[in-house]
Amino acid sequence: MKIVFAGTPDFAVPALRAAAGKAEVVAVYTQPDRPSGRGRVLTPSPVKRAAQDMGFPVRQPETQRDADVQDALRALKPDLMVVVAYGLLLPQAVLDIPVDGCWNVHASLLPRWRGAAPIQRAIEAGDTETGVCLMQMEKGLDTGPVLLEQRTPIGEQETGGELHDRLAALGAQVLIDGLGLLRVGIRPVARPQPVDGVTYARKLDKAEARLDWREPAQVLANRVRAFNPWPMAEADVAGERLRLHAALALPLAHHAAPGTLLAAGRQGIDIACGEGALRIRTLQRPGGKAITAADWLNARRDLAVPSAQG
């Protein structure tokens, strides 16, 4: 079975390794090298680095719409194309090239959270369960029928980064299961997505990481978890702009204005919200590293506030 793999970020690397263990990977497609870091140095994608380490030929077209690019893919005569967070749209002409079409590993329980940021949006929305789907691709955005799925609970304090890593491994397993069936001549049953329950996970924007204390504490706590490690929630606390790495919503009744520092101690820093309070546990000052709330308070002797209660 000849496979073409298309993916770009870290999330796709376990799936690439899984594909390599089940079939012949004849080419790996990934996005072109992009400027990265303070020096804006051209940097290969995680998938490109992994593919080169494994000895696979790598192709990096700017688009899949060019006839030359499509002809080159057609010349590979792939049985299947596996797509995992590739980041480029595949036109129908590309979807039609592989004998068995194109499969996509998507990090949600479709049709919930179609789109670019399903992991973070699930946490932000307060979902208690998510998973991965192996989907037969069609022209629409994540609209194709689901072949296989795996479900998993979302931990109460699980961050976007932690869930990302778990779902990447789960996605690789779902792909292994699907390829195993295909190798013995069994096509997974394609189940059309239901019409009800469709939601879209729009791309993350750094601007939305700024917290508004007028919102409920639970909403802000979810956002802190979802946006760790990127783009990282930010907020003004006692005159400082801080990045928040970990926080907890408290069902605390108060009459203070949103943004008021209510209490601070070893347990954390309690900030009044539109509803309840947000207890900041781990934070980062500009140019610094992540520290506990207690360490921050040691550097802010000017703050005279009651101790945060357990």
Q: What is the CATH number for 290?
A: 3.10.25.10
pLDDT of residue 306: 65
Q: d(Cα 146, Cα 116) in Å, to the nearest integer? A: 18
pLDDT of residue 265: 87
Q: How many domains does the chain have?
A: 2
> Under a CB-based contact definition with an 8 Å cutoff, are residues 164 and 119 in contact?
yes
The single-letter DSSP state of residue 55 is: T
pLDDT of residue 266: 86
Where residue 122 sits, what CATH number does that domain have? 3.40.50.170
17: which 2 tokens?
A: 């390794």
Q: Which amino acid is at 235?
A: A
> Under a CB-based contact definition with an 8 Å cutoff, are residues 279 and 250 in contact?
yes
User: Known binder of ligand: residue 109?
Assistant: yes
User: Known binder of ligand: residue 111?
Assistant: yes
Same domain, 172 and 245: no
Same domain, 289 and 243: yes
> Under a CB-based contact definition with an 8 Å cutoff, are residues 153 and 165 in contact?
no
At a CB cut-off of 8 Å and minimum separation 6, what does 16 contact?
5, 7, 25, 28, 47, 50, 51, 54, 84
Does residue 88 fall inside a structural domain?
A: yes
Does residue 303 fall inside a structural domain?
A: no
CA atoms within 13 A on the CB side of 50: 23
Does residue 182 fall inside a structural domain?
A: yes
Mean pLDDT of 221-226: 98
Give the domain-ending residue among 201, 227, 243: 201
| Percentage, residues of the chain above pLDDT 70 | 98
Same domain, 128 and 192: yes
Q: Three-class SS string for 105-161?
A: EECCCCCCCEECCHHHHHHHCCCCEEEEEEEECCCCCCCCCEEEEEEEECCCCCCHH
Kindly indicate the confidence band of residue 299, based on its pLDDT and cuts at 50, 70 and 90: confident
Q: Which amino acid is at 153?
A: P
Question: Is residue 102 classed as helix, strand or coil in its secondary structure?
Answer: strand
Mean pLDDT of 26-46: 93
Does residue 158 fall inside a structural domain?
A: yes
- Give pLDDT tens digits for 159-210: 999 999 999 999 999 999 999 999 999 999 999 999 999 999 999 999 999 9
3-state helix, strand, coil in the chain (%, to 5): 30, 30, 45
Same domain, 112 and 18: yes
Beta-carbon count within 10 A of 13 CB: 21
Same domain, 119 and 72: yes
Q: Backbone phi, then psi, for 293, in 5-degree steps?
A: -60, -35
197: which 2 tokens?
A: 């329950």
- Give pLDDT tens digits for 117-148: 999 999 999 999 999 999 999 999 999 999 99
User: Known binder of ligand: residue 108?
Assistant: yes
Same domain, 95 and 181: yes
Same domain, 60 and 120: yes
Partnered with residue 200 across adjacent β-strands are: 114
Does residue 304 fall inside a structural domain?
A: no
18: which 2 tokens?
A: 């899984």
pLDDT of residue 307: 64
Q: Which domain holds residue 284?
A: 206-298
Does residue 187 fall inside a structural domain?
A: yes
Same domain, 268 and 185: no
Same domain, 36 and 148: yes
Same domain, 196 and 211: no
| Percentage, residues of the chain above pLDDT 90 | 92
Does pLDDT of 305 surpass 90? no
Does pLDDT of 308 surpass 70? no
Give the domain-ending residue among 168, 185, 201: 201
Mean pLDDT of 55-77: 98
Question: Is residue 271 classed as helix, strand or coil in its secondary structure?
Answer: strand
Kindly indicate the confidence band of residue 234, based on its pLDDT and cuts at 50, 70 and 90: very high
Q: Backbone phi, then psi, for 4, in 5-degree steps?
A: -105, 130
At a CB cut-off of 8 Å and minimum separation 6, what does 117 contact?
201, 202, 203, 204
Give the domain-ending residue among 201, 228, 249: 201
Same domain, 183 and 217: no
Tell me the pTM: 0.94
Does pLDDT of 36 surpass 90? no
Q: Backbone phi, then psi, for 92, in 5-degree steps?
A: -60, -35
Q: Checking phi first, is residue 194 left (phi over 0); if not, alpha (psi -120 to 50) or beta?
A: beta
The single-letter DSSP state of residue 229 is: T
Does residue 174 fall inside a structural domain?
A: yes
CA distances from 206 to 210, 217, 227, 228 (A): 8, 20, 9, 12
Q: Backbone phi, then psi, for 221, in 5-degree steps?
A: -65, -40
At a CB cut-off of 8 Å and minimum separation 6, what does 253 contact?
none
Does residue 307 fall inside a structural domain?
A: no
Query: Rg of the chain's alpha carbons, rounded to an integer?
Result: 23
Same domain, 45 and 180: yes
